[in-house]
Amino acid sequence: MLRMKMSNQTFVTEFLLQGFSDIREIQILHFVVFLVLYLGALLGNLLIITAIALDHHLHTPMYFFLGNLSILDLGSISVTVPKSMANSLLNTRSISYPACVTQFFLFLVFISTDLALLTVMAYDRYIAICQPLHYEQVMNRGACVQMATSAWIAGIINSALHTANIFRLPFCQSKDIDQFFCEIPPLLKLACSDSDLSELGLLTFSVFLFLNCFVLIIVSYVQIFKAVMRIPSEQGRHKAFSTCLPHLAVVSLLLCTGFFEYLKPASSSTSILDLLVGVLYAVVPPMMNPVIYSMRNKEIKAALKKLIVWSKFIKN
C-alpha cells in the first residue's frame, strides 16, 4: 500500500502556467497588453508614493496608509505580471518550483496585507468622521505605525502558513496550473486528494478572517453614514462622503474579485474564465487604485501637479 501510494506521487521540479493562447500573434498581443497595464500600474503607484513622501501636507494618517497601499499594489502586480509577460514573449509556460513558491508566498503576503490595511483605513475614516475631536489623539504617529506594522505581520503570517502547508503536499496529478500565476485554488487541484484536508481547513480559517475584515469595514461605514447624515449642511456631507468614496471603491474592487476567485465552484468555469478572473483579481486593482484615489481627491491632484511642475523645473 505504501509503495503504491509513493508510486503515484510525483517529484515536481517545475510547473506549467496556463497561457492565454498558443497562437504566436495572440501571445505577442498578451505581452503588449500586460506591458501597458504593468507600466500604468507602476507609474500610478510610484507617483502616489512620491507625492505623499514629498508633500508635507499629505503627512497625515490617511495618506500614510495610502502610501503603504501603493507599495502593496506595486508588489502584488510585480510578482505575477512580469513572469507571465516573459513566458508569452519566450513562448514557454514553465515556472520552476522555487520560483512558484516565491511567487505564491509574496503574492499572498501583498493581498493579505492589502485587505488588513483597507480594514485599518476604514477605522481611520470612522475616527475622522465619527470622533473628530479625538482623531489626533487616537491616530497619532505611533498608533499609525503600529497599525500598518500589524497589517504587514498578519499578511506575512497568513502567507507563511499557506505556503508551508501547500508545498508540503505531494503533487500526484498533472503539473499544469490553471492560472497565469501560482495561487491556492489551482495548486490545490494538483495535490493528492487525501492530503489537502489541512489546507482546506486553513483556507476556511483564512476566509473566516477575511469575512471578519469585511464585517469590520461594513460596521465602520454604517457608523460613518449615520454620522454623515446628521451633518446639517449639504456641503459638509459631500466633503465627508468624498473622503470615503475612493476607499469604498478600492475595497469593493478587491473583495468582489477576490470572493469570485476563491468562492466560485471549480466545475462551473472554463480555463478562459479562470484566466479572466485572475486578471481582474491580480492585475486590475493595482492598476485602478491610483486612478480611483487621484480622481476623487483634490489634495492628491494638487500634490501630483506640484510634483510634475517640480520635475519639469529640475529638468530645465
What are the angstrom distances between the C-alpha of 230 and each of 63, 130, 225, 248, 259? 26, 10, 9, 20, 33
Please state, rounded to an integer, the average pLDDT across all residues of the chain: 82
Compare 245 and 26 and report the one with higher pLDDT: 26
CATH number of the domain that residue 149 is part of: 1.20.1070.10
**Residue 10 domain flag:** no
- For residue 71, pLDDT over 90 is answered with yes
Percent of the chain with pLDDT over 70: 85
94 forms bridges with which residues in the sheet?
A: 16
pLDDT attached to residue 3: 36
What confidence category does residue 8 fall into, taking pLDDT thresholds of 50, 70 and 90? very low
Query: Looking at the predicted structure, is the pLDDT value of residue 22 above 60?
Result: yes
Residue 247, domain member (yes or no): yes
Residue 170 included in any domain: yes
- In this prediction the pTM is 0.85
Is 3 contained in some domain?
no
Residue 54 lies in a domain: yes
Q: Which of the two residues, 164 and 172, has the higher pLDDT score?
A: 164
Asked if residue 16 is part of any domain, the answer here is no
Containing structural domain, residue 225: 22-315
* Three cell numbers written together for 166: 501547500
Taking the C-alpha atoms of residue 223 and residue 90, their distance in angstroms, rounded to an integer, is 52
Q: Which three cell numbers stand for residue 287?
A: 492598476
Residue 139 lies in a domain: yes
Q: How many domains would you assign to the chain? A: 1
The partner residues of 186 in beta bridges, in order of sequence, read: none
**Cα–Cα dist 43/39, whole Å:** 6
Decide if 7 is inside a domain: no
Sheet holding 14-17, edge to edge: 94-96, 14-17, 176-177
